[in-house]
Chains A and B, each alone.
Chain A
Amino acid sequence: MRLSQFIKRVITLYKESAVRGFQKGIRTLWGLAKIVIPVYFIVTFLGYTPILDIVSGLFEPVMNIVGLPGEASLSLVLGNVVNIYAGVGAMATMALTGKQATILAIMLSFSHSLLLESAVANKAGVGLGLVVFIRVGLALLSGIVLNIIL
């Protein structure tokens, strides 16, 4: 059976699920757009002002340890304080190399939405301090190691 036929069969068999998945996709995309678009506008605006340069310069030495430009600190802060989409929105405005984008992505994927997700993990029974320690620790460690080996 060809792949396209297989996909068609699955979709006819699970039409309701597919429709529900589509609606969920639209909802997720809407939730994402509501954050990515304003963040993109704000970060681009900051790029026209001296503010972004000042913040970048401030964080440049620390960010160099993980092989990222100073401005990437903005993406890490937004990703951890707001959520992963805000981090991605800020990331989209920056001209990063493949290596930098991968490092930033892995750091953000280990540690994001600290406020909300740590509360979820805490509710499932693991202490808040340990949760934050593991996530931030993994992000820093992976950034340092990847900067060396990539």
Chain B
Amino acid sequence: MDFVAYLKESFTGSMSSVLTMGAIIIPLMVVMEILKDTKVLERFSSKLNPIAKFFNISNESIFPLLIGIIFGLAYGAGIIIDSTEEGNLSKRDLYVLVIFLLACHAIFEDTLIFAAVGANLWLIFIIRLIVAIIISYFAARIIDKRQLVEED
């Protein structure tokens, strides 16, 4: 094999991938950090009570949900665990939140990185969001049914 050609191919290929990702990630992190500090999400959360109603979860669940969708699973789970310890979230809330976030977290970061290597940005974005809504909705229904059975 041509070792020089191999090194050249690997070097230019990997560098251009990393640079494309950098061009996406750095501005995104700046925007997300500002978003965090403006406390816009806290205020926005209270306007999203219809979402809480749809899943039949507490209004307090909306903020950790938004955080997880935007900033990622680790960060979202941290806030979910904190809220649970403070007693703001029920076991049911917790389940619905975690199942939603399993299908859909760090949505901007992951989606944009995949777009950098050729995937369709909007399809990934929309499919993740819709699938997350569907499975957490059904998870909520299943939990309710089980609880009814237990009460009988």
Which residues of A line the B interface, CB within 8 A? 10-11, 14, 16-18, 20-22, 24-26, 28-29, 32-33, 36-37, 40-41, 44-45, 48, 84-85, 88-89, 91-93, 96, 98, 101-102, 104-106, 108-110, 117, 120-121, 123-126, 131, 134-135, 138, 142, 146
Lowest 4 CB-CB distances: which A-B pairs, in order?
A: A21-B33, A25-B26, A25-B29, A105-B119
Pair A88/B113 contact, Cβ less than 8 Å: yes
Report yes or no: B6 in contact with A36, Cβ–Cβ below 8 A.
no
Residues in B neighbouring A17, C-beta threshold 8 A: 30, 33-34, 36-37
9 intermolecular pairs with C-beta atoms under 8 Å apart: A17-B34, A21-B31, A21-B34, A22-B26, A32-B25, A44-B6, A106-B123, A124-B81, A126-B102
Q: Number of residues in B with C-beta < 8 Å to the partner? A: 54
CA distance A137 to B124 in the complex (A): 17
Q: Is the CB of A18 within 8 A of B30?
A: yes
B28 within 8 A of A: yes
How distant is B99 from chain A, measured CB to nearest CB, in Å? 7
Tell me, in angstroms, the Cα distance from A32 to B109 when the chains sit together.
12
CB-CB under 8 A for A40 and B13, given A22-B29, A142-B131 = yes
Which chain B residues numbered 1 to 57 have a C-beta less than 8 Å away from chain A? Answer: 1, 6, 9-10, 13-15, 17-18, 21-22, 25-34, 36-38
Residues of A near B13 (CB, < 8 A) are: 40, 44, 92-93
Q: Is the CB of A29 within 8 A of B110?
A: no
If the complex has contacts A92-B17, A102-B123, A142-B127, are A125 and B29 also in contact, measured as CB distance less than 8 A? no
Find out whether the CB atom of B22 lies under 8 angstroms from the CB atom of A29: yes
- Which residues of B are at the interface with A, using a C-beta cutoff of 8 A? 1, 6, 9-10, 13-15, 17-18, 21-22, 25-34, 36-38, 73-74, 77, 80-81, 84, 91, 94-95, 97-99, 101-103, 110-111, 113-114, 116-120, 123-124, 127-128, 131, 135
Asked if residues A125 and B14 are in contact (CB atoms below 8 Å), the reply is no
Closest to A44 in B: B10
Q: Is the interface of B mostly helix, strand, loop or mixed?
A: helix
Residues of A contacting B: mostly: helix
How far, in Å, is A90 (CB) from chain B's closest CB?
Answer: 10
Query: Which residues on B sit within 8 Å (CB–CB) of A91?
Result: 117
Q: Inside 8 A of B15's CB, which chain A residues have their CB?
A: 37
Task: Tell whether, in the assembled complex, residue B36 and residue A109 are in contact, meaning their CB atoms are under 8 Å apart.
Answer: no
